Structure 1
Amino acid sequence: MDDMVFASDGSFYFSDFKGDSTNPIGGIYYVDKDYKTITPVITRLAIPNGLALTPDEGGLWVTEMARNQLIFANLNKDRKSIPPYGTSIPYRFQGMNGPDSCSIDRDGNLYVAMYEQGRVLVFNDKGIVQKAGNPTP
């Protein structure tokens, strides 16, 4: 388990930080609010890392570190499954070190930390880069 994000009902998603670009064995899993049932949501990922739920909880953003990409998944109403053709890759990152953790604000803007780069990329709710910067303490 690497990153996790909670839904408003107490259920949560977590990333299984496994695999690589030639052996994608990682995944995203949903844990029911009773903490007894775990359901795979997205499988065959190459080091899935950051997770963020959209403000309406109808979509899930995932950073896939080993493939250097940002994934968006539309969630079915059950929040445990994705409709056919329900995922997209709105952005592919460049360079050696890929995307790490991410977070979302109430307007749906996604903030992605770049591993060992000291910078953050900000995407709008469509996955289009709005800002790139190096935050300083």
Structure 2
Amino acid sequence: MAADTLYEIIDPRFSGKIVGSARLEELCTGFRWTEGPVWFSDHDCLYFSDIPNQRVMRYLPADNSVSTYLAASNFANGHTRDRQGRLVSCEHGTRRVTRTELDGSITVLADRFEGRRLNSPNDVVVKSDGSIWFTDPTYGIISDYEGFTAPPEQPVHGVYRIDGDSGAVTLVANDFVQPNGLAFSPDEQLLYVADSGGSRETGGPRHVRVFAVSEDGRTLSGGKVFCEIENGVPDGFRIDSDGWMWCSSADGVDVFDTDGTLCGRIRVPQRAANLTFGGPRRNRLFITATTSLYAIYVNARGVQTS
């Protein structure tokens, strides 16, 4: 894609966030719906989900190869990495959040709240205190394409916190239509959460909200709208080291400053679902978009989380 059609510069400051000579690369294709990219720096690889095919894939930049890391993935969607280097995953099929231990065994971190099954955990992040935060919309139980059709048992579509020490699960936000991607600010004083309710509900939310994290790191307050997505809905996003947000949309990747002002866009040929920063300097943006995995070098660095 040529530079004049690849980038949309809305605010001049966005020019400082991109590499003019960089091009969008399609790394691999042939999937059904890609999601949940997570970078493992010590393995020099990217893991991502192909949800309908029930696979977690592994991409190796060293030889530009892709392989199946995990088959029968229980319709795994979002992933992250904890502070001990373990893969943490949201599974639509089993309606749970799991952790893959270093020996390959699976630990269930959450599958119920107040005695009822979760809806379908979607995306997940880990805070520096070891707590795990995840969203729980109903995307995995509204059809058999990305999970198993089933009635919701939870009265809300919430955002939850798993305590890093006790493992206790608490509900930290309960007023979303469909909570989706989430990420902390670099100083972890703010938590951003997408609401993609507009994907299935006419007039539904297509925005990202921002919450203040309490001093003890256990609760949230506020929740005002931080930014709106003009085309499509916000799904997954990441925050760079300057606090700017890089958010998926139907157009590609929308980039917002710390005030929620849309500054620019990277156009992607397919609908973007999620993204993450990777590479040795965390300046390569990996984008999962419908049937393909894309990447582009940018003049920004993702927040170091592990």
TM-score interval, normalised by the smaller of the two chains: 0.7 to 0.9
Which of these residues, 83, 88, 109, is aligned with residue 244 of structure 2? Answer: 109
Partner of 2:113: none
The DSSP-based 3-state class of the residue aligned with 1:28 is strand
Amino acid in structure 1 at the alignment position of 2:185: T
Which of these residues, 125, 130, 134, is aligned with residue 14 of structure 1? Answer: 134
Alpha-carbon shift at residue 118 of structure 1 (Å):
4.6
Measured on the aligned residues, the alpha-carbon RMSD in Å equals 1.9
**Which fold has the larger relative contact order, with Cα–Cα distance below 8 Å and residues 6 or more apart in sequence?**
2
The DSSP-based 3-state class of the residue aligned with 2:220 is coil
The DSSP-based 3-state class of the residue aligned with 2:235 is strand
Alpha-carbon shift at residue 45 of structure 1 (Å):
0.7
TM (norm. structure 2) is 0.39
CA distance in structure 2 between the partners assigned to 1:106 and 1:61 by the alignment = 15
Please show how residues 21-60 of structure 1 align to structure 2 within 5 Å: 25-34=156-165, 36-60=167-191
Moved over 4 A (4+): none
CA distance in structure 2 between the partners assigned to 1:133 and 1:9 by the alignment = 33
Change (3 A) 1:35 1:122: farther
CA distance in structure 1 between the partners assigned to 2:182 and 2:129 by the alignment = 17
Q: Which runs of 5+ in 2 are unaligned?
A: 1-120, 140-154, 198-204, 269-293, 296-306
Q: How many residues align?
A: 128
Partner of 1:82: 220
Partner of 1:92: 228
Summarize deviations over 1:69-110 as a string: whole Å, max 9, x none: 110001111222123xx2210222234x31110111111111
C-alpha contact (below 8 Å) 1:17/1:49 kept by paired residues? yes
C-alpha contact (below 8 Å) 1:18/1:25 kept by paired residues? no
C-alpha contact (below 8 Å) 1:18/1:48 kept by paired residues? no
1:122 maps onto 2:255 in alignment: yes
Change (3 A) 1:104 1:35: farther
1:2 maps onto 2:140 in alignment: no
Change (3 A) 1:121 1:39: same
Identity %: 29
CA distance in structure 1 between the partners assigned to 2:257 and 2:247 by the alignment = 11
Q: Which runs of 5+ in 1 are unaligned?
A: none
CA distance in structure 2 between the partners assigned to 1:69 and 1:53 by the alignment = 16
